[in-house]
């Protein structure tokens, strides 16, 4: 399992304010999560991705397979890097999958950042080959590791290519995410394996999250719009970052779409 946090706002914020400084920040969730369905800590790596549109449309990514609380370099960098779009995560590696940098979210390709909180049961033994066999050559050749998360991202990239999606097109991003969840869950159902598929993706201008599992309630996912700590912004997180009464839980099997127009949610 992992813990994820995303920010999409009108103002640039330091990475540290989102990842390190709140009462129940991603840093705290790395060693003291409250709502994880499996695992105890998130010590198998962390990553943060952000956008600098004044440079280009592709995100910068900092990833490490070390625990967040041990990385002094990130602690020095984070207060000095500002962005209006951020996606970050801490990782608890699924049993059977290696704890290496190739498996640490967020994953990046072109203008997209992606993270997955969940697991496909017995992925390498049962589901990896059937899922990867259906990928395009472009997505397959881009795989670096053996995780379920990277495979789901590859599915999503294929659907975004098919749709000829462009940055800021929240509708295409939402539809591609929906199709990805349905396709991956259909394959897992045929194989008889459980899949927990909380995912988040952003292109720097729009952000989409899904809360979904094939059986029972999915992993927790919350959002707050124009909150006390982050005004004029949408923040999405696996666990609430602070005591703001504005936090809402995204219902199970629902999609969240955020862009400059605000937030909408709908059933998957």
Task: Give the angle 69-221-119 at the CA atoms, nearest 5°.
Answer: 75
CB-CB contact of 77 with 64 (8 Å): no
**Rounded CA separation 3/35 (Å):** 10
CB count within 10 Å of CB 231 equals 11
Q: Which of 1, 2, 97, 115 is catalytic?
A: 2
**Per-residue tokens: 134:** 């259906």
Kindly give, in sequence order, each residue whose CB lies less than 8 Å from that of residue 163, ignoring residues fewer than 6 positions away: 172, 175, 176
Residue 2 bears catalytic tag = yes
CB count within 10 Å of CB 178 equals 17
CB-neighbour burial class of residue 52 (10 A; exposed 0-12, middle 13-18, buried 19+):
middle
Indicate which residues carry an active-site annotation.
2
């Amino acid at each position: 399992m992992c813990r994820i946090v995303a920010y999409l706002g009108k103002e640039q914020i330091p990475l540290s304010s989102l990842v390190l400084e709140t009462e129940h920040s991603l840093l705290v969730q790395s060693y003291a999560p409250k709502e994880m369905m499996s695992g105890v800590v998130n010590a198998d790596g962390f990553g943060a991705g952000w956008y600098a549109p004044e440079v280009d449309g592709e995100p910068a990514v900092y990833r490490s397979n070390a625990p967040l609380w041990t990385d002094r370099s990130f602690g020095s960098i984070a207060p000095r890097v500002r962005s209006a779009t951020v996606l970050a995560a801490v990782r608890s590696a699924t049993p059977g999958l290696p704890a290496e940098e190739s498996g640490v979210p967020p994953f990046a390709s072109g203008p997209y950042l992606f993270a997955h909180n969940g697991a496909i049961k017995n992925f390498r033994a049962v589901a990896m080959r059937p899922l990867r066999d259906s990928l395009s050559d472009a997505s397959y050749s881009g795989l670096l590791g053996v995780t379920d998360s990277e495979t789901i991202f590859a599915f999503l990239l294929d659907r975004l290519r098919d749709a000829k999606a462009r940055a800021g097109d929240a509708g295409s991003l939402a539809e591609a995410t929906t199709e990805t969840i349905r396709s991956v869950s259909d394959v897992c159902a045929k194989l008889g394996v459980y899949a927990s598929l909380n995912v988040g993706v952003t292109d720097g201008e729009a952000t989409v999250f899904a809360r979904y599992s094939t059986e029972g309630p999915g992993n927790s996912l919350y959002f707050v719009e124009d909150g006390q700590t982050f005004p004029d912004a949408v923040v999405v997180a696996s666990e609430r970052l602070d005591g703001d009464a504005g936090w809402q839980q995204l219902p199970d099997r629902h999609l969240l779409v955020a862009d400059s127009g605000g937030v909408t949610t709908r059933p998957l």
